[in-house]
Structure 1
Amino acid sequence: MSTFEDLLAEGSAVPTEGWDFSWFAGRASEQRPSWGYAKLLAERMAEAEAALDIQTGGGEVLASIPVAPPFLAATESWPPNLEIARRNLARFNATVVEVGDTDDLPFPADRFDLVVGRHPVATRWDEIHRVLRPSGAYLSQDVGAGSVRELTDFMMGPQPVHPSRSPMRAVAEAEAAGLEVVDLRQEALRMEFHDIAAVVHFLRKVIWIVPGFTVDAYRDRLAELHDFMERHGPFVAYSQRFLIEARKPG
Structure 2
Amino acid sequence: MRFEEQVAEGVAVPTDGWDFSWFAGRATEERPGWGYVRLSGERLGRADAVLDVDTGGGEVFAEALSRAARVPGVVCATEAWAPNHALASAALEPFGGAVSMVDGAGAPLPFDDGTFDHVMSRHPVSFPYAEAARVLAPGGTLLVQEVGAGSNRALYEFLMGPQADDDAAYLGRLRARVSGAGFEVVGLRDTLTRVEFLDLAAVVHFLRKVLWTVPDFDVERYRDRLRALYDHIAEHGSFVCHSRRTLVEARKA
Question: Shorter chain as normaliser: what TM range?
Answer: over 0.9
1:159-174 pair list within 5 angstroms: 159-161=163-165, 166-174=170-178
Aligned-pair CA distance for 1:167: 2.7
Where does the alignment leave 5 or more consecutive residues of structure 2 unmatched?
none
Amino-acid identity (%): 52
Letter in 2 for 1:9: A
Does the aligned pair in 2 maintain the 1:143–1:165 contact within 8 Å?
no
1:53-68 pair list within 5 angstroms: 53-64=52-63, 65-66=65-66, 67=68, 68=71
User: Which residue pairs with 2:210 in the alignment?
Assistant: 206
User: Which residue pairs with 2:18 in the alignment?
Assistant: 19
1:214 & 1:103 partners in 2: Cα distance?
Answer: 26
**Deviation sequence 1:14-53 (CA, Å, 0-9, x none):** 0001000000011001010000000001111111100000
**Deviation sequence 1:35-94 (CA, Å, 0-9, x none):** 000000111111110000001011010010224211000000011111110011111111
User: Which residue pairs with 1:139 in the alignment?
Assistant: 143
1:83 and 2:82 are equivalent in the alignment: no
When structure 1 is superposed on structure 2, of 192-201 and 216-225 the one drifting more is 216-225
Secondary structure in structure 2 of the residue aligned to 1:200:
helix
**Aligned positions, number:** 248
User: Which residue pairs with 2:252 in the alignment?
Assistant: 248
**Which of 217, 232, 239 does residue 235 from structure 1 map onto?**
239
User: Which residue pairs with 2:98 in the alignment?
Assistant: 95
**Which of 50, 70, 75 does residue 72 from structure 1 map onto?**
75
**Which of 186, 193, 216 does residue 189 from structure 1 map onto?**
193
Letter in 2 for 1:51: V
**Which of 131, 140, 151 does residue 155 from structure 2 map onto?**
151
**Deviation sequence 1:120-168 (CA, Å, 0-9, x none):** 1112221111111111101010000000010100001111135699232
1:7 & 1:24 partners in 2: Cα distance?
Answer: 13
Does the aligned pair in 2 maintain the 1:152–1:209 contact within 8 Å?
yes
Letter in 2 for 1:15: P
Letter in 2 for 1:29: T
TM-score, length basis structure 2: 0.95
Secondary structure in structure 2 of the residue aligned to 1:108:
coil
When structure 1 is superposed on structure 2, of 74-83 and 98-107 the one drifting more is 98-107
**Deviation sequence 1:166-203 (CA, Å, 0-9, x none):** 23222101111221000110001110000000000001
Where does the alignment leave 5 or more consecutive residues of structure 1 unmatched?
none
Secondary structure in structure 2 of the residue aligned to 1:217:
coil
Does the aligned pair in 2 maintain the 1:56–1:62 contact within 8 Å?
yes
Secondary structure in structure 1 of the residue aligned to 2:100:
strand
TM-score, length basis structure 1: 0.96
1:114 & 1:161 partners in 2: Cα distance?
Answer: 34
User: Which residue pairs with 1:51 in the alignment?
Assistant: 50
Secondary structure in structure 2 of the residue aligned to 1:247:
strand
1:117 & 1:140 partners in 2: Cα distance?
Answer: 5
1:86 & 1:165 partners in 2: Cα distance?
Answer: 38
Does the aligned pair in 2 maintain the 1:144–1:165 contact within 8 Å?
no
Note closer, same or farther for the CA distance 1:57–1:165 as it changes in structure 2 (3 Å cut): farther
Does the aligned pair in 2 maintain the 1:145–1:165 contact within 8 Å?
no
